[in-house]
Amino acid sequence: MARDRAFDRWDDAALVAAIAAEDTAALRCLYDRHAPWLVARLRSRCYDDALVADAVEDTFLAVWRTAARWRGEGDVGAWIWGIGIRRLVTHLRRAGRQARPAPLPATGTARSAEELVVEQIGLSDAAVALTKLSPELMEVVQAMVFDGLTARETGRLLGLPEGTVKGRIRKAKALLRAELRRPALELGELR
């Protein structure tokens, strides 16, 4: 089925409005725009391609079903991401598995989407502070801060008790605060 190319010029909010009016061509256009990055980000959290595919399919089914309820606040991509990560957590819970990315290549050349974003926008102090976190703390920060999950959802995603997740996020916050204060203190500024 040929897609209506007129939708290619529409912004995401207009596509969601068309989807709310049950326009399948608008859904196809939104899918084509957002599915590739959604797959990439979900794969960084789960190495099971079948679970990722199911989560992506369920995400766009939810977009179809709930488009009329989207309030038009914020970015459509962020809305889709929120749905997608929650769908992945649901699939992982049903499968009884933990979300762990496949081991990184020995060369260390693979970088997460968040690392690429931080590098591109040049958040030097924050980027440096984040790189100093241990992998255990960083995965909790990634889930709760970047992905917007609750402590309970993060625990399910990582296979950790909720209390451990809360403890790790507190420790990460304290370490980040200390690291971000350091340059100001070194310059003699008081906070």
Condensed to tens digits (0 to 9), the pLDDT of residues 94-127 reads 877 555 544 444 444 555 555 555 555 455 676 7
Q: Hey, do 10-95 and 113-186 end up sharing a CATH topology, with the first three levels equal?
A: no
Q: Alpha carbon of 122 to those of 128, 145, 175: distances in Å?
A: 10, 18, 20
pTM score: 0.58
Q: Where are the domains of the chain?
A: 10-95, 113-186
Question: Domain 10-95 carries which CATH code?
Answer: 1.10.1740.10
Q: What local confidence, expressed as pLDDT, does residue 89 receive?
A: 85
Q: For residue 75, give the 3-state DSSP assignment.
A: coil
Contacts of 75 (CB under 8 A, 6+ apart): 12
Q: What local confidence, expressed as pLDDT, does residue 134 receive?
A: 85
CA distance 21 to 48: 34
- For 152-179, the pLDDT digits (tens) are 888 877 778 999 999 999 999 998 888 8
| Residue in 53, 83, 88 with CA at minimum distance from that of residue 66 | 83
CA distance 13 to 26: 11
Fold adopted by 113-186: Arc Repressor Mutant, subunit A (1.10.10)
CA distance 23 to 142: 35
